[in-house]
Amino acid sequence: MSHLKPVVGVSEGITLLFIFISSKVFLAHVTFILHDGMNASWVIPIINTLIGLLGVLLLVAVLNGHPGKDLVEIGEELAGPYINTLFSLFYLAVFVIGAGFTLRFISERVVAGFLPDTPISMVTLSFLVGTVTVAYLGLEAVARTARFLVVVLVVSTLALVLLTIPFWQGHVFYPLLGGGVWEVLRGALTTTGTYVQILLLGIIYPFLPQGKARLVGVWGVLIAGFFFTIMVLVPILIFSFPTVTEMALPTFEMARIINIGRFGQRMEVVFLPIWVFANMIFMAVSLYAGAAVLARLFKLGDYRPFVLAVTVFTTVTAFIPLNSAQASYWNHAYLSRYSFYALVLIMLALLLAARLRGKGGAKNEKGV
């Protein structure tokens, strides 16, 4: 059955997942973590990564019981159409809200930082044209684009980190656990929604090589965790707490302070591809995944008619907040705090339903 064969390789799957999870480090997400964890905020991503790993293992346990099916189809089989509709709406909300608020925030930041005379509608349109085109071309196109551009992203990010080494201050580590263990732990447990994007694994599962979902999930979360930790830690090292909490876009500030002699000033333009590409990949994935959820929900074989529909939802969502600050705050409040628990509850419900119905629970990754 050639049309059910994997079209996303392990490497592309990992890339897609880790960019989808971690692209928010280039936005204001880091600032909220810095508020929670103070100068020990870098511990929070580590704890979150461990929690994310558990979530991935749970998700893979659900998926492996039903080879060749994605999360929506599995939900339909196990929980029935009505309850699954609720589940699917949750998945859709994760994709649409995430993409919408990201679109608003990045558009505002581009206008503020790079195109002050350009209307935001023009900037938003530019982002949408790019992401809709690639999302429309399909999962293959999204995954391969992400894989091709990941080199630019990783190299630029590491350069951004390394070029700020002269500004690092060691003493900002102390007190080592900031406001205390409980504060850090509380901060971690209230920002687990950082990893709600592991949901993507459930949507692309049928197109991954058989038996590789766990590998993709675990590596995707680990690499995302690495970048989360780095991008939370480095701003603290440079700007120290509490100054760092006043920044809307810590990575932009990091780029601004880089100074390579008299000629190498205002280097932020060099790092513009990081913000643009990371968020465009995030949005393209969201549009594709949202359309895929809708297609499955409405039992249609083709996701493409829904791409434009999801784009409209996303654009509308993007312009509900009054400004970028509200967009990022809502994104944090609705997605980054407790949404992960909702996803875990759905996974547990599905696992329980599978056990009760005697379906799938005993199968391994190869469906045997």
- 3-state helix, strand and coil shares in percent for the chain, rounded to the nearest 5: 80, 0, 20
Q: Which stretch binds another protein (CB under 8 A): 20-28, 56-64, 225-233, 299-307?
A: 299-307
**Residue 248 in 3-state DSSP?**
coil
Between residue 16 and residue 35, which ones bind another protein under the rule CB under 8 A?
none
How many chain residues bind another protein (CB under 8 A)? 68
Among 206, 217, 235, 360, binds another protein (CB under 8 A): 206
Asked whether position 367 contacts another protein by CB under 8 A, the answer is no
Among 209, 215, 308, 355, binds another protein (CB under 8 A): 209
For residues 166 and 237, what is the distance between their CA atoms, to the nearest angstrom? 10
Nearest to 302 by CA among 138, 67, 99, 89: 138
Please state whether 240 falls in left (phi above 0), alpha (psi between -120 and 50) or beta: left
CB 93 within 8 A of CB 286: no
Q: Which stretch binds another protein (CB under 8 A): 47-55, 246-254, 267-275, 306-314?
A: 267-275
Query: Measured from the CB of residue 99, what is the shortest distance to another protein in angstroms?
Result: 15
Output the CA torsion 245→249→255→258 (10° steps).
-20
- What x/- string results for residues 137 through 166 when contact with another protein is judged by CB under 8 A? xxxxxxxxx-xxx-----------------
Between residue 170 and residue 199, which ones bind another protein under the rule CB under 8 A?
none
CB 228 within 8 A of CB 28: no
Q: Which stretch binds another protein (CB under 8 A): 49-57, 77-85, 157-165, 313-321?
A: 77-85
**Residue 264 in 3-state DSSP?**
strand
**Residue 327 in 3-state DSSP?**
helix
Q: Which residues are within 8 A (CB) of 305 and not within 5 positions of it... i.e. 6 or more apart?
A: 295
Asked whether position 123 contacts another protein by CB under 8 A, the answer is yes
Nearest to 202 by CA among 311, 76, 82: 76
Among 53, 112, 120, 126, binds another protein (CB under 8 A): 126
Query: Measured from the CB of residue 70, what is the shortest distance to another protein in angstroms?
Result: 9
C-alpha distances out from residue 18 to 11, 57, 215, 277, Å = 11, 16, 12, 14
Q: Which residues are within 8 A (CB) of 333 and not within 5 positions of it... i.e. 6 or more apart?
A: none
Backbone angles phi, psi at 178, to 5 degrees: 55, -120
CB 228 within 8 A of CB 86: no
Among 26, 32, 90, 207, binds another protein (CB under 8 A): 207
Among 26, 95, 277, 306, binds another protein (CB under 8 A): 277
Nearer to another protein, 85 or 243 (CB): 85
Q: Which stretch binds another protein (CB under 8 A): 242-250, 269-277, 311-319, 335-343?
A: 269-277
Query: Measured from the CB of residue 138, what is the shortest distance to another protein in angstroms?
Result: 3
Between residue 83 and residue 112, which ones bind another protein under the rule CB under 8 A?
85, 110
For residues 256 and 260, what is the distance between their CA atoms, to the nearest angstrom? 11
Q: Which stretch binds another protein (CB under 8 A): 134-142, 170-178, 231-239, 354-362?
A: 134-142
Nearer to another protein, 112 or 177 (CB): 112
DSSP characters for 140-153? HHHHHHHHHHHHHH
Binding site for another protein (CB under 8 A): 1-7, 9-12, 68, 73, 76-77, 81-82, 85, 110, 114-115, 118, 122-123, 126-127, 129-131, 133-134, 137-145, 147-149, 206-207, 209-210, 262-263, 265-266, 268-269, 272-273, 276-277, 280, 284, 292, 295-296, 299-304
